[in-house]
Structure 1
Amino acid sequence: MKSLLALPLLAIAAPLYAEEIPTYTADEIVVTATRFLSQSQTSPFGIQVITREDIARSTATTIPELLSHFAGVKTRSNSGSPDAQIDMRGFGITGGQNTLVLLDGQRLSEIELVSPKWSAIPMDSIERIEILRSSGAVLYGGGATGGTINIITKMPKPDQREGFVSAGYGTYNTSELRAGGLIGSDNLSLALHANRYDSDNYRKNNEIAQENIEGDFRFTTENTQWALKFGADDQSLRLPGARTESQLQSDRRGTATPNDWSTRTGGHLNLNGSTRIGDAELTADLSYRERNAKASYAPGYSIETKVNVAAFNPRLKLGHTLLGQRNDLVLGLDLDDWDYNSKNTYSTSLASQKNQAFYFQNQTMLSTATRITLGGRLHQVESSVGTISQTKSPRAFELGLRHELSQGLALFAKLDQSFRIATVDENQFQISLLEPQTSHDREIGFEKRLAAGALRASLYQIRLNNEIAYLPSTLVPPFGANINLPPTQRQGLELAANWRATDTLDVFANYTYAEATFREGTYNGTDVTGKNVPLVPRHAMNLGASWRIAPTTNLGADAQYIGEQYFDNDQANTFGRKMSSYTVVNARLAHDVGPWRLAATVKNLFNEKYFSYAIKSGTTFSAYPAPDRTLFMSAEYRFK
């Protein structure tokens, strides 16, 4: 993969140009909340879209950082990997398994207890990111109880030709090379983006080297389009391990695991075909993805895991009239087949999962101002771990209403049911496989689009049965085990606003109030009724601004506040202490000089000492300390 960065340049050749710093736009955004192209204002539920302009203005350099700037989305690092865990709507340590992540509509979430490969997606390849809170189970299946995140990569267009190369260097010997380009003719088009990232990182024994490439080749006629999307990634990472409470004071950057390491390679291929016949749209995806990972943990333990999945996803959208009302009906099938092979120093684990599902979603225009959505999913999953097999048939449904009270002001409400199937790791060491987790969700909110901004507010409640969680080895010797918890609940309030204060100043703010509690029952023999689920801050807030100092100069800054939260492994809330709250401020200055863009980004401007993950053990705790202040500078050359 040493030549990844050179590939995008093969598709680029043209005169130079200078691109202006992007500014806020209130134009309608095309989204895929129905698995077909539609307008965001017609989305059945409160969808939020992060545009490429938002990405360009942001101080974020990774996808998890970017997502954490939005209401109801939290990140945590509990491994030393750049692939941080995403948690939507307060699921704590299982947030990653309750947030479904898609890449161009195809699953990026794994059937293991690992985070999606965020770092394998070049940021420059992203066109937009769609956030569907507490939604997605009907259209996409299990693991979407907290929400669905759909990353849409840039689509090459006919007669388009542009490209860039970039280099950057920063604190802790961090360097990055990036390149990308899009080129198109009347019928054929190609997009390629690649990057290489290297860093010693904040912690000792946490060096990383990573290479990625994403591509999209398209053939388009008047009513038909074929697209071949592909990508590959290669990562080498050292693993620093956690720090004890005393080590956080004496040697915050140190490591007790100087010989631990991991490697990962992977790739994906997706063939999509779509056509329009009258009022009907037909599209299908045939995809394959694989991941190969190795790790070594001293003393004398190593593991090698291979996972691959093949999927076929045909779907139909049909516009029709029923009882005099306009309807849009989506019908689809999801078929996928996972194979898992993991070999460690002492044993080998084989597992598989096959999913077959039929779903529908119908949107009815009751009037020009009112839209009702009804959807359902029949799902069958066959799981096998070692010699133990299980077949389950979970269901999902959704009922949503959206009503435009006036121009730009809409109310929305929804009821739905979702589910989650236990991962391969969660089903290890079980006499019988775990029951599927189920939830019943409800939400109400409003969206207000202004001439120079937008407001959004929502109230939600998620009531869960058989939530899947881990009991440590101190409770279930010798390795611990995963169980179905007694009934739990999430509920909260999310507020968000963005506003163009002047022609040169954009601001945003959001606030999240989240409660995650046990509705009833016991945990390890202790009554936990009304107790708080660990790793869920009650309060969180983001503030940010983007100031266009001059037509070619932009200064951006943001601040994130995360409130107190219970330590992991403190389900009974008896530890007597909580993880401290923290506030992190970031800033970025970008300036265009002809075809060049020069930028400097400062993370953790005020050098906050904090950690986003910690676990209690007896009377003390261990944590993964976050980096202190860092600086990264880059130069980008664009041509068109």
Structure 2
Amino acid sequence: MKKKIVLSLFISSVLVAQSVELEPLSIVSTAIKTDELKSTDAVEIYTAEDIDKAHVQNIYEFLNQQTSVTAMPSYGNSFSQKIDFRGYGMDNGYQNILITINGRKINNVDMVPQLLLGISPASIERLEIIKSSGIVKGGDGANAGAINIITKKSNAKEITVYGGTHGTADGSFYLGHSEEKFSINASGEAQRSDGSRYINSSGDKDESSMRTASLNVAYNPIDTVELRAGASFARTDITYASFLTLDEYNNDAKQAGAFNWGSANQKYDTDALNLGFSYHFSDKLSLNIDGAKEKKRSIYNSGSPTDYEYDSLNSSLNYVDNLFSFTLGYDLFDGNLVNTNNDLTKTSNALYFLNELYLGKSTVKLGARYEDISFKSKTGENQDDTLYGVELGYNYALDKEKSLFANYSHAYQSSSLDRLFDWSTGAFTGYVKPSESDNFTVGFNYFLPTNKLKISLYYISLKDEIYYYADPTWASSRNTNIDKSYKYGLDIYDKWLINEELSVVLNYNYVQAVIDKEVENGEDYSGNDLPGVSNHNIKATLGYSLNKSTIFSLTQTYRSSAYALNDFNNNFTQKQDAYKSTDISISYTKESLELFAKINNLFNQKNALWVEDDAIYPMNFCTTAIAGFKLKI
């Protein structure tokens, strides 16, 4: 088995087939649009074509197979996955990543991960990953960086249908129409699965279903004004199995297990509305204002619901010129969480500016953000934090193909509501300091018509990194802060078009995450590795065009072993196993019809998330397959 893995890694590192030339892409999700070759940040950009070719069932799968981001089901819940990059760990990494959809922030006020399942891959135009940056425009939660998703606005019309193992069935659509003054687009997806693990001794499985749809409209009554509106919803229902002991996992990863607390069910619904307008005072000066309201409801095991209501307003005044670009913005957010025992709110007000200067071959970025964040409970107790973010960056174009860049950012992540207040009573449980980071990155870009290479080195110094101290006796367990910690690493991205038939995409990430100073309940973690962080992350995709109509691709994913999520002492008997998966796909396109098939985890390798000894959550532990078609109308 090891020989097969090594062979597939070797082939991938030498060889997604394309006959086009590579060129720098524009970063469109930031406050100021920038050519990626001239960017002062380390960025990854993925287009609709990249996502289409991957034939993924959801965005989590794309992130995990194609990007530097790691995604894993949250304690068995594949619809609510935790994500990480730059070494913040699988337990809390997602809270250090800011995620937006068309500028609307989807991070939650509690510890529930961002619901990326609510957006269909078929509706995405671009996915941009901004590393160790994004705090000025995005604000709270951008310690590691930002993931920005932009949906399609094209005239495309397409339908995708596929079926697969474990009773998987999926149908999605995108319909777009654009005229001189008016555009409208709609997208949607429905998916279900019978499940791959048993949840009890009766033979019931971890079945799941989800539905999502969105509608967006834009209208230009006059040349200088754009009015826009949108609505979206997601409905998810998943039953998922509990943890296994090591013996159970080794014996049969799909079993329910005899030593856990049984399966869980979550129904999670979201509804969002957004309105906005832009006014262009001139070709260079414009004003943008966007508001959104989002309602969410989560119900576990048919119990009492938890309701969320978010109101946000984002406004910016933008000036773009050949010599410099400038943005001045104001953001407002009000989030409310209500269940049987709680009535909690988190509000924030922020003011920011971002400026870029273009001085010949040099690009200079300077930006700052001031944000006031307030937490309140029904008992009248509260916490207030005043935070600031800074971004400084420099890019020097050596020539039309190569550039060097360096940047610094001071970022922050405030506490979640459920870290501050008792879930059963709503009472204030203790102050949790906001986490603050100083990020330093240097990098090199080298773009040729047949090769796109990006290399970056980074160092992150953190104060008060937020975590949950899990006392072995549970008597002293609490949410608290790591006094000091640091991370450093290397990111390499290379896309090489070898010829018209062969190409390779390689994404390699090395990271070390170290607890510099922390003593909790008499236990000294100083000098230990942060648990849940893999030092090596490799993803390689080989593409081969059999002919003009048929494309074959092979993807190998590997993550090295790590300490289990609760192993802050680095002394548990069991560690997180290395993650390995080999995936293949083939597609055939004839005019407007594409037929495709994909096999995930070809060699049936077992993978899982380790929380502690004998607390193992299997994931991607068996071979699965899908086959279907895409029709462009």
Same fold (TM over 0.5): yes
Name the residue aligned to 1:408. 401
Work out whether 1:627 is the aligned partner of 2:621.
yes
Name the residue aligned to 2:384. 391
Q: Residues 343-401 of structure 1, C-alpha deviation per residue, up to 9 Å, x if partnerless? A: 3xxxx111101110000111112x22101111100110111134220111011111111
Matches within 5 A, 1:588-603: 588-603=585-600
Work out whether 1:561 is the aligned partner of 2:562.
no
Which amino acid is 1:447 matched to?
Answer: N
From 372, 375, 379, the equivalent of 2:367 is 375
* Alignment partners' CA distance in 1, 2:518 and 2:430: 22
Shift of 1:581: 1.4
* Alignment partners' CA distance in 1, 2:500 and 2:324: 40
Which amino acid is 1:210 matched to?
Answer: M
Shift of 1:191: 0.8
Work out whether 1:493 is the aligned partner of 2:490.
yes
Matches within 5 A, 1:333-482: 333-343=330-340, 348-365=341-358, 367-387=359-379, 388-429=381-422, 430-472=428-470, 474-477=472-475, 480-482=477-479
Q: Residues 467-500 of structure 1, C-alpha deviation per residue, up to 9 Å, x if partnerless? A: 110012535427x321111211111111110011
* Percent identity over paired residues: 22
Moved more, 42-51 or 630-639: 42-51
Q: Residues 508-529 of structure 1, C-alpha deviation per residue, up to 9 Å, x if partnerless? A: 1121111001112324422222
| Alpha-carbon contact 1:586-1:602 (below 8 Å) kept | yes
Q: Residues 410-454 of structure 1, C-alpha deviation per residue, up to 9 Å, x if partnerless? A: 111111101101111221335333111111111111111111121
* Alignment partners' CA distance in 1, 2:610 and 2:132: 26
Name the residue aligned to 1:61. 57
Residue 458 to residue 36, structure 1, CA distance change in 2 (3 Å): closer
Residue 225 to residue 48, structure 1, CA distance change in 2 (3 Å): same
Shift of 1:31: 2.5
| Alpha-carbon contact 2:176-2:184 (below 8 Å) kept | yes
1:127 aligned counterpart, secondary structure? strand
Residue 563 to residue 259, structure 1, CA distance change in 2 (3 Å): closer
From 240, 244, 264, the equivalent of 1:260 is 264
Q: Where in structure 1 do 4 or more consecutive aligned residues deviate above 6 Å?
A: none
Q: Residues 291-350 of structure 1, C-alpha deviation per residue, up to 9 Å, x if partnerless? A: 1110118xxxx34111111111110112469xxxx221110000011011123xxxx111
Shift of 1:259: 5.6
Name the residue aligned to 1:88. 85
Moved more, 468-477 or 353-362: 468-477
Q: Residues 152-207 of structure 1, C-alpha deviation per residue, up to 9 Å, x if partnerless? A: 00014xxx3x3122321100000011122111222111111111100012112311
Matches within 5 A, 1:1-400: 25-70=21-66, 72-77=68-73, 78-92=75-89, 93-156=91-154, 160=155, 162-204=156-198, 205-220=205-220, 221-256=222-257, 260-278=264-282, 279-296=284-301, 302-319=303-320, 326-343=323-340, 348-365=341-358, 367-387=359-379, 388-400=381-393
Residue 222 to residue 52, structure 1, CA distance change in 2 (3 Å): same
1:448 aligned counterpart, secondary structure? strand
| Alpha-carbon contact 1:59-1:557 (below 8 Å) kept | no
1:55 aligned counterpart, secondary structure? helix
| Alpha-carbon contact 1:410-1:446 (below 8 Å) kept | yes
2:307 aligned counterpart, secondary structure? strand
Shift of 1:553: 1.3
Shift of 1:114: 1.4
Q: Residues 571-614 of structure 1, C-alpha deviation per residue, up to 9 Å, x if partnerless? A: 11111442221321111111123432111010001111111x21
1:148 aligned counterpart, secondary structure? strand
Matches within 5 A, 1:574-589: 574-589=571-586
1:83 aligned counterpart, secondary structure? strand
Name the residue aligned to 2:536. 539
1:67 aligned counterpart, secondary structure? helix
* Alignment partners' CA distance in 1, 2:478 and 2:141: 20
Count of aligned residue pairs for this structure pair: 599
* Alignment partners' CA distance in 1, 2:617 and 2:267: 23
* Alignment partners' CA distance in 2, 1:625 and 1:508: 25
* Alignment partners' CA distance in 2, 1:496 and 1:565: 23
* Alignment partners' CA distance in 2, 1:187 and 1:305: 42
* Alignment partners' CA distance in 1, 2:263 and 2:22: 51
Which amino acid is 1:368 matched to?
Answer: G
Shift of 1:46: 2.3
Name the residue aligned to 1:11. none
Work out whether 1:511 is the aligned partner of 2:508.
yes
Q: TM-score, normalised by structure 2?
A: 0.91
Shift of 1:116: 1.2
* Alignment partners' CA distance in 1, 2:429 and 2:162: 52
| Alpha-carbon contact 2:24-2:447 (below 8 Å) kept | no
Moved more, 246-255 or 438-447: 246-255
Residue 74 to residue 576, structure 1, CA distance change in 2 (3 Å): same
Which amino acid is 1:277 matched to?
Answer: F
| Alpha-carbon contact 2:580-2:605 (below 8 Å) kept | yes
2:93 aligned counterpart, secondary structure? helix
| Alpha-carbon contact 2:253-2:621 (below 8 Å) kept | no
* Alignment partners' CA distance in 2, 1:31 and 1:512: 22
* Alignment partners' CA distance in 2, 1:401 and 1:36: 15
Which amino acid is 1:230 matched to?
Answer: A
2:166 aligned counterpart, secondary structure? coil
* Alignment partners' CA distance in 1, 2:429 and 2:166: 47
| Alpha-carbon contact 2:271-2:296 (below 8 Å) kept | yes
Q: Residues 46-74 of structure 1, C-alpha deviation per residue, up to 9 Å, x if partnerless? A: 22210111112225332122122456421
Which amino acid is 1:472 matched to?
Answer: A
Name the residue aligned to 2:567. 570
Residue 25 to residue 210, structure 1, CA distance change in 2 (3 Å): farther
* Alignment partners' CA distance in 1, 2:545 and 2:297: 44
| C-alpha RMSD over aligned residues | 2.0
Q: Residues 26-52 of structure 1, C-alpha deviation per residue, up to 9 Å, x if partnerless? A: 244332343254433443312221011
Unpaired runs of 5+ in structure 2?
A: 1-16, 199-204, 423-427
Which amino acid is 1:68 matched to?
Answer: N
2:339 aligned counterpart, secondary structure? strand
* Alignment partners' CA distance in 1, 2:606 and 2:375: 43
| Alpha-carbon contact 1:75-1:84 (below 8 Å) kept | yes
| Alpha-carbon contact 2:253-2:618 (below 8 Å) kept | no
Q: Residues 524-564 of structure 1, C-alpha deviation per residue, up to 9 Å, x if partnerless? A: 42222221000101111111122222222111111011101
| Alpha-carbon contact 2:137-2:352 (below 8 Å) kept | yes
| Alpha-carbon contact 1:22-1:57 (below 8 Å) kept | no
